[in-house]
Amino acid sequence: MCAAIPGENPVESDRQLRLVDENGLGRIDIEYLELIDREGRLLGKRNILTMLGNIDKDRFLEEVEPLLMVRMKLVRRTGRGREITPEGRRHLRMRRTRPTS
């Protein structure tokens, strides 16, 4: 945990330093969601890994996908690839319209 700054919520400060949003999504999670939303088509695992370019395959399969698919239901895996769910689009829309502090 980071050092508390007087007048600031230490959990919020730590969350911002780790680039985690209020739902627990980190930078890579958000990049993944934005990628499949922007592409507007089904994407296979290899394509996603290549396009993200900055993530370890094991981390992707063991951390990122289970969080986004199983726990949060923001991404769905089909026989032809991954696609963003309506919940995933709502999450991105809320992030884009949220005021910055």
What is the four-CA torsion angle of 48, 33, 10, 6, rounded to 10 degrees? 110
In angstroms, the CA 52 to CA 95 distance is 20
**Tens-digit pLDDT profile for residues 47-81:** 999 999 978 899 999 999 999 999 999 999 999 99
Contacts of 67 (CB under 8 A, 6+ apart): 24, 25, 29
Rg of the chain over Cα atoms, rounded to whole angstroms, equals 15
Q: Are residues 19 and 26 in contact, defined by beta-carbon separation less than 8 angstroms?
A: yes
- pLDDT tens for 1-20 read 444 445 555 544 444 445 67
